[in-house]
Every structure is written in structure tokens, then in C-alpha cells.
Amino acid sequence: MSAPLCANVEYPSPNRKKTGTTEQALLTNQKPEPHVRHLPSESATLATPRIRYCSLVMSFSGWLLIFLACH
């Protein structure tokens, strides 16, 4: 499988109150590590049906043109 193309990167805000141990550990670091949240990419979710639909329409229209030209 391919990796998602889009990612939403969020950095922890120093002004917000943190409650979890991982979040507290992130606050003690000099450089906060980004939290990466992967979004479902449009190409991964929609490319295959679009390709199938386009190839189906192209083959049908090509077949129709040949059929009409012959008759």
C-alpha cells in the first residue's frame, strides 16, 4: 500500500494545560515533537474508481463510435 499524500501536523501549544504523561513529557522537551495526523488522501480513495469509470466510459464510447460507423 502507498503512504498517504496528505498529513496534518500539529505542534503542542505551550499555553494549553496538558494532563497526560506523554503530553507532559513533550512540554519538558526544548523542541516539541510534532503530532502527525494522517488524513485519507483523495488520490488513494478516489483514484481507482475514477480510473475504472473513465476507462469504462472511454471503451463504451469507442465501441459506440465504431458500431455507428459500421452501420
Its pTM stands at: 0.23
pLDDT score for 50? 60
pLDDT score for 5? 46
Answer whether residue 66 shows pLDDT above 60.
yes
pLDDT digits (tens, 9 = 90+) for 3-41: 444 445 455 555 555 455 555 555 555 555 555 555 555
> Where exactly are the structural domains of the chain?
1-39, 45-71
Distances (CA, A) of 58 to 32, 48, 49, 65: 51, 15, 14, 11
